Amino acid sequence: MAGACILGCAGPGLAPDERRLFARIDPWGFILFARNVETPDQLLRLTSELRDSVGRDAPVFIDQEGGRVARLGPPHWRPWPPPLCTAQAAADTARAARALWLRYRLIAAELRAAGIDGNCAPVADIAGPATHPFLANRCYGSTAPAVAAIARAVAMALLDGGVLPVVKHIPGHGRATADSHTALPRVDASRADLEASDFAPFRALADLPLAMTAHVLFADIDPDRPATCSPKVLGMVRRDIGFGGLLMSDDISMGALAGSIAERSAAARAAGCDVVLHCNGDAGEMAAVAEAAGRLAGPELARAGAALARRHHPQDVDIAALEAEAWGLDGRRE
């Protein structure tokens, strides 16, 4: 059984000590960042090395939203404006959904060519007047129906391109006024208000194969623990939102969480995260995450298998035609 974790590596190639560590830990999957990326050929070698280290076709994830959150960029990969800019420039939700479908279908083709088969998108958080700038222009809109429709289009574009989508940040990060990379956001809105708005896009996307948790404290549901480490919140995600896919934590090393890396990992697993995500490539921390997270088993192992079963060969498309349409709808390039 694979380890209940998704891990990164330190650089553009897999070092011998990293290879030995991954062979021992056997993480369920891997995640890449800009520090791991140089050229298309190098990236394809790295994704192959990662899979070889565990001896199976492990999923390899990346955050490739376009705009500010893009680990792949020029000159080898297409640039994009922030998603919210594209959505707001569209005449209506249907046109915005088409524009973002085109973007993510093209992104999926780039990812598959590099050996990457998971993308941490769509972002189903709702943008509001107080949404922290780290997140705001990564969102797709300011209403639950629009966000749900556009996020569905994004997810389907990725699946059509043979890439697993990871919807984030469940059950909703849009009301947070702090950056969870550095501090724990607290949301004081009532549960009723949250269910009517912030949680609604995630209910509409509950059939997707994977989701990433929010490092956000929802005071009316659990005043003591952020969602990632809260059995109350994650129980609600399963029961009331109805999400049945594989649930991964956001990066367990982020500043929103308290305690040691091992304590955070154990708390996330105890709360209901199927896998723990660790991103910074620190070997000592990765070993601690793996030990605390344990192995996939039972229902979580079944959810992991079901997620991988949604990974398939990309549908044939005319990339040049999609690109021409995408540039027309986006209206500009970064």
Residues classed as catalytic: 181, 250
Structure tokens at 330: 């986006």
Q: Is 324 exposed, middle or buried (0-12, 13-18, 19+ CB in 10 A)?
A: exposed
Angstrom distance (rounded) from CA 307 to CA 296: 13
Q: Which of 128, 175, 108, 136 is nearest to 316 (CA)?
A: 108
Q: Are 264 and 277 in contact (CB under 8 A)?
A: no
Q: Contact, 199 vs 241, CB < 8 A?
A: yes
Q: N- to C-terminal Cα distance for the chain? A: 43
Phi-psi group of 242: left, alpha or beta (phi > 0 → left; psi -120 to 50 → alpha; rest → beta): left
Q: Report the C-alpha gap between 95 and 111 in whole angstroms.
A: 24
What are the tokens at 249?
């934590």
